[in-house]
Amino acid sequence: MDAPNSTTRTLPSKELEKLSLREMAEACELDFAQKTIEMWLWKVFRETNLAASTRLTDSMSPVKFITTVETSKKRIDSLF
């Protein structure tokens, strides 16, 4: 599963040298929190769309259902 593109900004080395260890730790924690939230939102979006786009019916064979789910996953993943 691919996650959405991130908009994380990297700092030039001179700016990094000016940051204290505490500021760097806080920046890392914020970046980690942002990435965690993005990944969670992506998972919710993907699973919601999968559930909405794939319904198992009595007339559908298990092989056809699995093929439909895999096709839907690829379609959803291609959005990002």
Residue 9 has a pLDDT of 60
pLDDT, tens digit (0-9, with 9 covering 90-100), for 21-71: 888 788 888 888 888 888 888 888 778 777 766 666 666 777 887 888 888
Q: What domain count does the chain have? A: 1
Place of tokens 């979006």: 45
Q: What is the mean pLDDT of residues 18-23?
A: 79
Say whether pLDDT at 12 is over 80: no
Per the domain annotation, does 49 fall within a domain? Answer: yes
Distance of CA 77 to the CA centre of its chain: 9
* Helix, strand, coil distribution of the chain in percent, nearest 5: 70, 0, 30
Residue 1 has a pLDDT of 46
Nearest to 33 by CA among 55, 14, 8: 8
Distance of CA 58 to the CA centre of its chain: 32
Per the domain annotation, does 1 fall within a domain? Answer: no
Per the domain annotation, does 36 fall within a domain? Answer: yes
Query: Range of 67's domain?
Result: 13-77
Per the domain annotation, does 43 fall within a domain? Answer: yes
Per the domain annotation, does 6 fall within a domain? Answer: no
Report pTM.
0.42
Per the domain annotation, does 5 fall within a domain? Answer: no
